[in-house]
Structure 1
Amino acid sequence: MSPADLAVDSGQCLLDLGRTAEARARTAEGIALLPRARDKTRGIFLTYQARGCLEVDDIEQALAVTGESLDLASRIGAPRCVALVHELAPAFEPYRRVEGVSEFLERLRAG
């Protein structure tokens, strides 16, 4: 297990424990540690980061990293990552009035 994996896994555990600030920091740290050769993993980690953002109603940031994840997954052909993004879609539904959310949800439906 690499330091990046350990940081993100720790972040997920912290998120499950409700320690969102620490979780977000660990997840961001893990993403920053990933080498470009692990872009599929980066896409998955970005969805984890989005989940943490959604937990604290940071919708704009959640939207940004989810979009980044989807763009990356589409570019490199990572179906697992695309599936994870689609799994996040219901969490965005209550925020349709936030700028960009409706467009993002439409993009998911079209894809």
Structure 2
Amino acid sequence: MRYVAAYLLAALAGNDAPKAKDLKKILESVGIEADDTRMAKVISELNGKSINEVIAQGNGKLASMPAGGAVAAAVATSAAVGSGGAAAPAAEEKKEEKKDESEEGSDDDMGFGLFD
């Protein structure tokens, strides 16, 4: 992933066809030692392709993947739209969080000092 990120950074900087030395320079600037074989693989796969087209293709592939969190959020949203009392559970949840925080503060010391 780091090689793809370096390639994208080089492309964002205006370099339409980044080379291995460009990626190596970017990676070394943040303290990452570059693996020449992986870097060559990324460059060969992306060589001659428009970054915008590659990203658009990737977005299309990601859209077709099921994601548990997104489904749960969609179900929760649709349930909230269908029922008028959806705001009440959210308010209760916030109250519980505040209560937990105040309890944590009182238990921190418990009457014992670290250096007593």
Q: TM-score band (shorter)? A: under 0.3
The normalised TM-score by structure 1 is 0.24
Larger Rg: 2
The normalised TM-score by structure 2 is 0.23
